[in-house]
Chain A
Amino acid sequence: MSPGRSQSLLWLAQRGSAAVLAFCVAVHLATMIVAVRGGLTAAEILGRTRGSVAWAAFYGVFVLGVAIHAPIGLRAIIAEMRGSHGRGVDSAMLAFAAVLLALGLRAVVAVTTGRAT
């Protein structure tokens, strides 16, 4: 794949994930504001999320959006600071995406099932 094509697809992925994140962040913030009105406790949050497929799906998508969006943006920043980006940076960004995805999904599983993985 040519650098031009990969860059175009990365741009598309970042724009698409940004749209998903805009929605997810809005819902996340609105939920936080509503949730703290009655006092914020871990038990209350877990009571809402535990066993909820809908919340698990929502935060699963949220985590996926972050894992796509952040490494692409960081890759662009590194490229501008270094003047170029090579395979090393791309590999590091893939690893960064994997870490974000793993940590995020671990948290989603924990608040949904109550089991730490």
Chain B
Amino acid sequence: MSPPPGRPKEGSLPLGATARSAEGAPKSTLAVRVWRGGAAAAGGGFVPYEVPRIPAQTVLDVVTHIQRRIDATLAYRYACRVGMCGSCAMTVNGRARWTCRTHVQTVAGDGALDIAPLANLPVIRDLVTDMRGFFDKWARAKGQFVPTATRHDGFATVAPASKERRAVDAAIECIGCAVCYSSCDVVGWNPAYLGPAALNRAWTLVNDPRDGGRNDRLAAVAGDAGCHACHTHQSCTDRCPKQLAPTASIAGLKRATAYAALTGAIP
């Protein structure tokens, strides 16, 4: 799904600049190639479209234009359109991105866009991937909060300045878009690997003083399919649209599991 040779992955024009044709006039259309069908092995492939270029246009706007104006059978996902829900991530010019907050002019300065489904996930159709494996891994990493209090207890107090809370100040902002998962080399090599998002979620709960599942969770994320499989390539941290650092969360889990193993908290 990489862009063809000769085509840059990223636009080279500065923000606000407009691509120009060979004659020097601003291009009024985008040359878009959208993945249609299933996986490549199942006959899927890129189909070209021509889409009008408009100011402040996002990649999601481009996909929506194709679906509304050119081919209503195009399948894709989105919900909030404002970078909160994490449902519109796709591969844009070879790189996983959240399409609702990605402006065309920042990624397609030459007026060319390749839009494909996220990597490392099975393709259902067109730009829609099967996210079950991704979220099943959150469950396998014991990403569920385990309460220790009842409705009769008072509100728990988590001091904002506490070490545990500060350790996850950023990590709790994950929107579950799977951009990190799609960008991770280890996920590609090792299908059992829990991946950056699930491990990041586990790290937030490991630091939650209200949670009662710490040791089970640390046991679940230790090992060849867990935090120890991470190669620290940091693709997840580089690509995260929320500027989170799953690599740091995974490093924290490595330290926490080592301490738990030494003290016998992991049997």
Of residues 75 through 98 on chain A, the ones whose CB sits less than 8 Å from some CB of chain B are 79-80, 83-85
A12 touches B224 (CB 8 A): no
Report the separation of the CA atoms of residues A8 and B260 in the bound assembly, to the nearest whole angstrom: 9
Chain A 30-70 near chain B by CB (<8 Å), digits 1 or 0: 00000000000000000000000000000000000000000
Closest to A3 in B: B223
A7 touches B222 (CB 8 A): yes
Of residues 160 through 191 on chain B, the ones whose CB sits less than 8 Å from some CB of chain A are 189-190
A78 to chain B, nearest CB (A): 11
B99 adjacent to chain A (CB < 8 Å)? no
A23 adjacent to chain B (CB < 8 Å)? no
Report the separation of the CA atoms of residues A79 and B257 in the bound assembly, to the nearest whole angstrom: 20
List residues of chain B with CB within 8 A of the CB of A2. 219, 266-267
B74 adjacent to chain A (CB < 8 Å)? no
Closest to A11 in B: B228
B25 adjacent to chain A (CB < 8 Å)? no
Known: A8-B266, A80-B189, A80-B190. A3 touches B258 (CB 8 A): no
Which range holds the interface residue count of chain B?
10 to 19
Report the separation of the CA atoms of residues A79 and B221 in the bound assembly, to the nearest whole angstrom: 17
B219 touches A12 (CB 8 A): no
Known: A2-B219, A3-B223. A11 touches B254 (CB 8 A): yes
Chain B 59-98 near chain A by CB (<8 Å), digits 1 or 0: 0000000000000000000000000000000000000000
B226 adjacent to chain A (CB < 8 Å)? yes
List residues of chain A with CB within 8 A of the CB of B190. 80, 83
Q: Which residues of A contact B (CB under 8 A)?
A: 1-5, 7-9, 11-12, 15, 79-80, 83-85
Known: A11-B228, A80-B190. A4 touches B219 (CB 8 A): yes
Known: A11-B228, A12-B262, A79-B224. A4 touches B189 (CB 8 A): no
B131 adjacent to chain A (CB < 8 Å)? no
Closest to B226 in A: A4
Chain B 215-231 near chain A by CB (<8 Å), digits 1 or 0: 00011111110101000
B71 to chain A, nearest CB (A): 41
List residues of chain A with CB within 8 A of the CB of B254. 8, 11
List residues of chain B with CB within 8 A of the CB of A12. 258, 261-262
Known: A12-B262, A80-B190. A5 touches B228 (CB 8 A): no
Report the separation of the CA atoms of residues A94 and B124 in the bound assembly, to the nearest whole angstrom: 46
Closest to A7 in B: B223
B224 touches A9 (CB 8 A): no
B189 touches A5 (CB 8 A): no
A102 to chain B, nearest CB (A): 28
Report the separation of the CA atoms of residues A85 and B229 in the bound assembly, to the nearest whole angstrom: 13
B235 to chain A, nearest CB (A): 17
Chain B 198-241 near chain A by CB (<8 Å), digits 1 or 0: 00000000000000000000111111101010000000000000
List residues of chain B with CB within 8 A of the CB of A5. 219, 222, 261, 266-267
